[in-house]
A and B are shown apart, each in its own frame.
Chain A
Amino acid sequence: MLLSQVVTGLAVGAAYSLIAVAVVLIYSGTRTLSIAMGEIGAFGLFVGLRWRADGIPVLGWKPSALWAGVIAVVIGGLLGLLIERVVMRPLVRRPPLDGLIATLGVALFLALLELKIYGEDPVPAPSPVGDRVITILGAPLPATRVAAFVLATLVAGALFVFLTRTKFGLATRAATSDPTVARLLGVKVNSVYRFAWGVGGALSGLTAAVLVPAFGQLTPFAQTQFSLRALAGAVIGGLDSIWGAILGSLLVGVVETVVQSNVSSSQNGYASMAVLVLVLGTLLVRPRGILGTAGVA
C-alpha cells in the first residue's frame, strides 16, 4: 500500500523534476531564479494542442498528440531564447531579485495571454504515448507517468554528462563560477545564458507534454501549481545541483502523494501544507538545499 504510494509519488516527482532541472540549469547559468518555467511549457503545449485541433495556420497540417508534444518542446525552447534575449540579458548586472520579478512578469503575461487567446475552456490533452496503464510494484501508472520518469532520468543524465564532459559544459561552469574571468578566457557568456534558457524552455515544454495528459486537459494557470512544486523541489535539492533538483522533486512528489492518499479526499490542502513544511524545514536547517553549494545560501 505505502510502497505503491511511494512509487506513484516518485512518478509524479519525476515529472516535477524536469521543470526543476530547467530551473536549476537557468539558476546555475545565469543566477536568476525563474518562476516562469511552468507557464513557458504550458504555453508551448497550448499552441501544440490548438494546432492539433485546428491545424497549423497556413500549412493546415493537424499534428498528432505526439507531434503536439514535440511542438510544445520547440515552442518552449524558442520562448526561452526570446525571453533570454529580450528580458533577461538587459538584467545581467542587476540584483537577482530583478530577474525573479521579471520572470514573474513573464509568467503572468503568458498565462493571461493564453486566457485571452484560447479562453477559459480546457483544451483536451491526449497522451502522446498512448493510454496504457503499467503496474509497477503495485502502483498503476499511466504511460505518461512512466514516460516522465524515463525522460527525467535521460535528460538529467545527458545534462550531467554534457556539463562535466564537454568543452561547452566546462565553459558553462566557468561562467557560473565567475563570468568576468570566463570572458577573459574567451568564453562567450551570452551563449551560455542562451543555452541555459533555450534548453530550460524546451525542458518546460517537455514537462508540459508528459505531465498534462495525465489530467486529460489543459487550462490556463493549470501549470502554475506544478511549476511551484518543481520550484519547491529545486529549492529543497539545492538550486545549483541537477541531482539535487531531481532528488528534491522526487521527495516533493512522494510526500505529496503519500499525504494525499492518507487524508480524507475533501482536504487536499494537506498535501500543500506538507510541501510548505518540507520547504521551510529544509531552508531553515540547510539554506543551500540538500546538494546545493555554499554559493546558493
Chain B
Amino acid sequence: MTSPLLEVESLCSGYGALQVLFDVSLTVGEGEIVALMGSNGAGKTTTLRTVTGLIKPMSGHVRLDGAEVTGRPPETLVPRGVVMVPEGRGMLRDLTVAENLALGAYVSRDKAAIAASLDQAFTTFPILAERRSQKAGTLSGGQQQMLALGRAIMSRPRLMLVDEASLGLSPIMTETAFNLIAEVNRTGVAVLIVEQNVLALDLADRAYVLEKGQIVATAEGADVRTMQGRLREAYLGRAAP
C-alpha cells in the first residue's frame, strides 16, 4: 500500500502547558486539495505550526511519504517538497519581489530549473514581472498574495500548505486568492488549505472541520458541499435562509 503524501496521526500539540490540539489526524494525497476548516482559536494555525516543525508536538506523528518527520525543523521541509504560505502571506517586506522569488528557490542548486520556475511564476502572475524590483512591503494585498504563491512554487513543491489566505482580504480578493490556489493545484501540487472562510470548500476534494482542537467532521466528494451548509449553521447558529 502506498503512503499518503502527508499523514498526520494523533497529533497533540500546544504552547507550554497549554494543549491546543487533541489527537488530530488527517491525510493529504498526491495532487489533492484538502481543506482544514475551523473558526478562530480552533487550532488551525497550531496544526500547521506543528506540521512544519515551528513548534514541537506533545505526541503523535507527522509523516511525508511514510517517512517520519515529526518535530523536524522547518528548514528541512522545502528540500522534501513541502512549502508553506504563512498566515499574513509571509512577505519579506524589505526585500524586492525578485529577491523574494529567488528565496523561494533557495534550496535548489539547479540554475536551469530555477530559471524555469521563475518563468512559470512570471507567466502565472505577470504582475510580478512588472514589479520585480519593487520592495515586497509596498505591494497591495492581492499582489502580495500572488507573490506568496509565486514564491511557493519556485521550489517545485509537491505539497503546499496555505494558512488563512483570506485573512484581511475583501470577499472579491479572497475569491481571487482561492482561484490562484486552484491554479497552482492544476500544475500538480497538492494543497492543504487551512481556512475559516467556507468558500475554501469550493476548491476542496476533501475537508476536515477542527473545533476546539479536535477534528469533529470530515467530508469527501459531494459531501464537501453539504459541509458548507453545516458550517454556516455552526457559525451563524441557525439554518440558512
Q: Are A and B in contact, CB atoms below 8 Å, in the complex?
A: yes
Residues of A near any B CB (own CB < 8 A): 167, 170-171, 173-174, 176-178, 180-189, 293, 295
The contact sample of 24 A-B pairs, CB cut-off 8 A, is A170-B95, A170-B99, A171-B106, A173-B95, A174-B99, A174-B106, A177-B92, A177-B93, A177-B95, A178-B93, A180-B86, A181-B91, A182-B92, A182-B103, A183-B75, A184-B52, A184-B54, A184-B74, A184-B83, A185-B155, A186-B79, A186-B106, A186-B155, A187-B103
Residue from the set B54, B75, B93, B102 with the largest chain A CB neighbour count within 10 Å: B75
Contacts of B103 in A (CB 8 A): 170-171, 174, 182, 185, 187
Contact status of A174 and B74, CB under 8 A, knowing A186-B155, A187-B106: no
User: Which of B77, B83, B103 has the most C-beta atoms of chain A within 10 angstroms of its own C-beta?
Assistant: B103
Q: List the B side residues contacting A187 at CB < 8 Å.
A: 75, 103, 106
9 closest cross-chain pairs (CB), A and B: A186-B78, A186-B107, A181-B90, A177-B92, A183-B74, A184-B84, A183-B75, A186-B106, A177-B94
- Determine the distance from Cα of A184 to Cα of B155 in the docked complex, in whole angstroms: 12
Q: Which residues of the partner chain A approach B77 to less than 8 Å between Cβ atoms?
A: 184, 186
Asked if B90 and A170 sit within 8 Å, CB to CB, the answer is: no
**B104 interface residue per 8 A CB criterion:** yes
CB distance from B237 to the nearest CB of A (A): 36
B interface, CB within 8 angstroms of A:
52, 54, 73-79, 83-84, 86, 90-95, 99, 102-104, 106-107, 151, 155
A181 adjacent to B95 (CB under 8 Å): no
| Complex: chain A residue closest to B53, CB-CB | A183
B106 contacts which chain A residues (CB < 8 A)? 167, 170-171, 174, 185-187
Residues of A within 8 A of B99 (CB): 170, 173-174
**A186:B75 contact, CB within 8 angstroms:** yes
B64 to chain A, nearest CB (A): 15
A178 and B90 form a contact (CB under 8 A): yes
CA A189 to CA B76, docked complex, whole Å: 12
Cα distance A154–B93 when bound, in Å?
29
Name the A residues within 8 Å of B92 (CB-CB).
173-174, 177-178, 181-182
Of chain B, the residue at the smallest CB distance from A293 is: B94
